[in-house]
Each structure stands twice: as structure tokens, then as C-alpha cells.
């Protein structure tokens, strides 16, 4: 249940950051932000998968 709340909070945080960066017109920062969040999500997914496999 905690994971669901953290995921929702993470999504709202990402949406707020993307809106802020996009509103300022800084496309490079927008792309960098999306990539960093995608990398973080991949690391979390891999860690969760590894924990279940043990």
C-alpha cells in the first residue's frame, strides 16, 4: 500500500516538474528530466524484480 502512495506522489511530482520546465521553454531540461525519471523508474523496477526473485 505504501508503494502505491509513493508511486502516486512520484507521478504528481513528475507532472509538476514537467509543467514547470515546459512552461519556461527549456526543451533540453525537459528531455533531461524525463530521462532521469525514466532511469529512476527502471532502477526501482529492477530492484523490485530482484527482491522478488530471492
The residue ranking higher by pLDDT, 49 or 1, is 1
43 has pLDDT over 80: yes
The set of cell numbers assigned to 33 is 528530466
Q: What average pLDDT is seen over the chain?
A: 77
Domain boundaries along the sequence of the chain: 2-53
Scan for cell 528530466, then name that residue. Answer: 33
pTM: 0.45
pLDDT confidence bin for 32, thresholds 50/70/90? confident
End-to-end CA distance of the chain: 21
Buried b (16+ CB within 10 A) or exposed e, 2-31: eeeeeeeeeeeebeebeeebeeeeeeeebe
The mean pLDDT value for 21-47 works out to 79
Amino acid at each position: 500500500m505504501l508503494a502505491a502512495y509513493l508511486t502516486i506522489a512520484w507521478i504528481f511530482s513528475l507532472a509538476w516538474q514537467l509543467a514547470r520546465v515546459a512552461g519556461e521553454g527549456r526543451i533540453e531540461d525537459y528531455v533531461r528530466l524525463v530521462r532521469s525519471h525514466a532511469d529512476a523508474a527502471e532502477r526501482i523496477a529492477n530492484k523490485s524484480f530482484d527482491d522478488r526473485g530471492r
